[in-house]
Amino acid sequence: MRIAAPVLAGCLLGASSLRAQNELGNFSTAARGGVATTFVTDFQAIGVNPANLGRQDNARVAFTIAEFGVGVGSQSLTRTQLRKFIENSDETLTLAQKQEMARAFTSDNVLNLNADATPIAFSVVLPLVGSFAVSSRQRVTTHLGLNKNTAELLWLGKDAPIYPANFNPATAPLISEVLDGTSVQLAAYNEYNIAYGRQVLRLPSFSLSVGAGYRYVQGVGVVDVRASGGKLEAYSALSPQFNVDYGSVASNPSFNLRQDADKLIQPVGRGHGYDLGVAAEVGKKLRLGASVTDIGTMRWEGNLLTANDQRLKRLRSSGANSYEFLSELENIFASGTDSLFQYTPAQERNASLPTKLRLGAGLRVGTRLEVGADVTMPLNEVAGNLPNAFYGVALDVKPVSWIRLSTGLTTGAGYGLGLPVGFAIATKIYELGIGTRDLRGLLSDNKPYASVAVGTLRFKFGTAR
């Protein structure tokens, strides 16, 4: 299997796992660093907490067109090093520089990238029935985490210290041992969502809403290579749009080949996801919320390849010789002649969606200030999910009635301390805004993170109250 390096680079650098929160397609949520459980209303509740559709302050009709966001970050590289990959990718490296890069790439969070787009979303409140919301969404998440051996194999190749002078493939360690702690993941999806929420209890100082959501998921591509605790997980299924050359594998009758790259979208997997949520309002100020999102399974069946554990073989390459490391990464993990793996065709593979538990609390202080806190925990380990729990606090403040400023503090989910900021013009009918999930990471040379989320066509009419 060969994947064109420019295509792979586009997936990594034109997308952002982030392997963290995936709300960059919502500029107001991005402006709060992903804190959303009690803040979101109307169609924004899709994928976060559908019970918020039952809140009293939702608009009777609301919709948005073309919201999007992208981000990129690292916990081990510097901003200067990240710029080298873009501006000086063809610079030839000395042995000392390659060794330096191998040390920098020894991290469980070398690179986290994410792209999230919402072409259209719509919500409506129907009296006595409840609130409905629909949306389409595209997500691409990537994550690169390498242990010391993998980082040295990437940058030093056959000269990596894992190879002794008397290296013998027959007695070499297993790949699962050599790569232990390594994860290389890519997941690309198209989603079509519908959600419903309704208030089920209303007392003078307490109200309770429940909600549920369903999504049909088209799998555009997945790469999931993980080694942990003596076990190896390695498979891929990529749409023809990735321009993969499968070589002799394509003629194998066990291989479910998809090759019509002229189609706009040709999924290689399908799945069904579900969200469940509950939201409470105590008095006029306190809001509480809890939800479980992305419950469900993907079935990958097109262009599917898997690899089993085997003994380490000696690479023929001397590793990446420039900052353009993606080609060498492809050589190691794809099924070419210099790959660590021997891939075999497969007919079908089921994988869980990235299920999460979200808990949140919020407090409204008058009509100009709202604060909230979120905890989001991954409930499984799959491509696209959080590597660990996310924690955040955020606030919205309106210095005047039509301007909303957002900020907060976040941590976890594969990142250090984040300082989100955002600005929005928010009238009773129209909203536009921009946000970044971490101003600190944008300005810092260590543990850099850059993101932007933008929306210009968000409208709402009437109030359900």
pLDDT at position 56: 86
Q: How far is CA 325 from CA 212, 272, 354, in A?
A: 43, 35, 28
Tokens 């794809």 locate to 334
Min mean pLDDT across 46-60, 268-282, 429-443 is at: 429-443
pLDDT over 90 (residue 175): yes
pLDDT at position 257: 86
Q: Which amino acid is at 296?
A: G
Angle at 114 (CA atoms; ends 111, 176), nearest 5 degrees: 45
DSSP H helices in 217-325: none
247: which DSSP letter?
G
pLDDT at position 25: 83
Instruction: Output the CA torsion 261→262→263→264 (10° steps).
Output: 100
pLDDT at position 383: 65
User: Mind listing the pLDDT tens digit for each residue in 404-461?
Assistant: 999 999 998 867 788 999 999 999 999 999 999 888 888 788 888 889 999 999 999 9
pTM confidence score:
0.85
In total, the chain counts a number of residues equal to 465
What is the DSSP pairing of strand 61-73 with strand 449-461?
Answer: antiparallel
SS3 254: coil
pLDDT over 60 (residue 10): no
User: Mind listing the pLDDT tens digit for each residue in 194-209?
Assistant: 999 999 999 999 999 9
User: Mind listing the pLDDT tens digit for each residue in 61-82?
Assistant: 999 999 999 998 888 999 999 8
pLDDT at position 374: 97
Task: Report, as an integer, the average pLDDT of 204-221.
Answer: 96
User: Mind listing the pLDDT tens digit for each residue in 83-104?
Assistant: 888 888 899 999 999 999 999 9
Q: Which amino acid is at 389?
A: A
* 423: its two tokens: 């600005």
pLDDT at position 262: 67
CB 181 within 8 A of CB 149: no
Task: Report, as an integer, the average pLDDT of 368-379.
Answer: 96
Min mean pLDDT across 27-31, 176-180, 304-308, 412-416 is at: 412-416
* 304: its two tokens: 């599917």
pLDDT at position 19: 37
- Residues 372 and 406: their CA atoms lie apart, in Å, by 11
Task: Report, as an integer, the average pLDDT of 389-411.
Answer: 96
- Residues 406 and 437: their CA atoms lie apart, in Å, by 10
Q: How far is CA 95 from CA 85, 99, 158, 278, 452, in A?
A: 17, 6, 13, 57, 36
User: Mind listing the pLDDT tens digit for each residue in 313-325?
Assistant: 999 999 999 999 9
pLDDT at position 366: 86
* 465: its two tokens: 């109250």
Q: How far is CA 348 from CA 10, 49, 332, in A?
A: 27, 32, 24
pLDDT at position 411: 92
For 422, residues 6+ apart whose C-beta sits below 8 A from its C-beta are 27, 28, 30, 31, 32, 404, 405, 406, 407, 433, 434, 435, 436
- Residues 65 and 345: their CA atoms lie apart, in Å, by 40
pLDDT at position 23: 67
Number of H helices, E strands in the chain: 8, 21
User: Mind listing the pLDDT tens digit for each residue in 285-312?
Assistant: 999 999 999 999 999 999 999 999 999 9
In the Cβ-directed half-sphere of 276, how many Cα atoms lie within 13 Å?
5
Read off the pLDDT band of 465 (50, 70, 90). Answer: low
- Residues 10 and 17: their CA atoms lie apart, in Å, by 14
SS3 138: strand
